[in-house]
Amino acid sequence: MRATNSNGEETEKAIREAAVRVIAKRGFQAASLREIAKEVGIRAPSLYNYIKSKEKLLYDLLKVPVSAMIADYESLTEGVTDPVVLLQTYVQVHLNFHLNYRLEVFIGNMELRSLSPAHYRVIAALREEYTGLLNRIIDDGVKAGVFHAPHSRVVTLIMLGMLSGVCNWYQPSGAMSAAEMMKLHTDMAFRMLDARSAVPAAKAARKRSS
């Protein structure tokens, strides 16, 4: 039976965090539930009070982040139609996650292949939904005459590649802060569309605690 009290929720969070560390270090196939349990401080059989399987745990680790980014973007842009504001917000939601959850991004990039076919289709569909948000922003901006893109789908993928790549090399102790990186990437995204940001930076989504 799945624990639902506060201690159970804390244990679930600890399991997710431990799984991220272990899978990022060893890879999904080599990562063991025993090692994850050891990191949490519980016995391996006890994990099944909180997870159905190792593969389902990976699925949840991949599903939660992209679902959260979609939810954050939609919450921050409710009622907003200006493509400039929408693009700023999208970039900041994306960077907020990719700067603060680098191991989760690494796992998402490397371990999608380890999912079952059914789970793979769900994650692929969510990622396409998330990509589609940016594609529509660019299309709407082109129609409004504020963006310029010779092929919006291609530009969308190029922009996502640029925004996502930061997690591979950014260091908090480096030359630029996370806020400075957000501003730089926002400026670069607008330059890719031969446009300028015309409003103050949108409030970035908060770093999640779970």
Instruction: Look up the domain containing 159 and give its range.
Output: 54-210
State which of 72-86, 178-192, 195-209 shows the largest mean pLDDT.
Answer: 72-86
- pLDDT exceeding 90 applies to what percent of the chain? 66
List, in sequence order, the alpha helices (H) in 45-112: 54-76, 83-100, 102-110
pLDDT tens digits, residue range 10-22? Answer: 999 999 999 999 9
- Above 60 in pLDDT, residue 195? yes
Of 51, 67, 87, which residue sits at a domain end? 51
- Pair 119, 131 in one domain: yes
Domain termination residue (choose one: 51, 69, 90): 51
Mean per-residue pLDDT for 70-74?
Answer: 97
158 and 193 belong to one structural domain? yes
| pTM for this entry | 0.84
**CB neighbour list of residue 153: distance below 8 Å, 6 or more residues apart:** 135
DSSP secondary structure code for residue 109 in this structure: H
Are 37 and 100 found together in one domain?
Answer: no
Same domain, 117 and 18: no
How many structural domains comprise the chain?
Answer: 2
User: Which of 12, 31, 51 is where one domain is finished?
Assistant: 51
Whether residue 72 sits in one domain with residue 24: no
Mean pLDDT calculated for residue range 4-12? 74
45 lies in the same domain as 83: no
Cα end-to-end span (Å), the chain: 21
CATH of the domain at 90: 1.10.357.10
Residues 107, 37, single domain; the answer is no
Q: Are residues 21 and 90 in the same domain?
A: no
Cα–Cα distance, 206 to 41 (Å, whole number): 29
pLDDT of res. 197 = 64
The one-letter amino acid at 156: T
CATH, residue 4: 1.10.10.60
Same domain, 202 and 139: yes
152-169 helix and 117-144 helix, angle to the nearest 10 degrees: 120
Dist CA 73 CA 91 (whole Å): 10
Amino acid at 53: S
Tens-digit pLDDT profile for residues 133-174 = 999 999 999 999 999 999 999 999 999 999 998 888 878 788
The reply to whether 111 and 63 lie within a common domain is yes
pLDDT > 70 in the chain, percent = 90
Confidence of residue 210 (pLDDT cuts 50, 70, 90): very low
- Are 79 and 190 spatial neighbours (Cβ–Cβ below 8 Å)? no
- Asked if 42 and 108 sit in the same domain, the reply is no
* 132 and 210 housed in the same domain: yes
pLDDT tens-digit readout, 37-55: 999 999 988 999 999 999 9
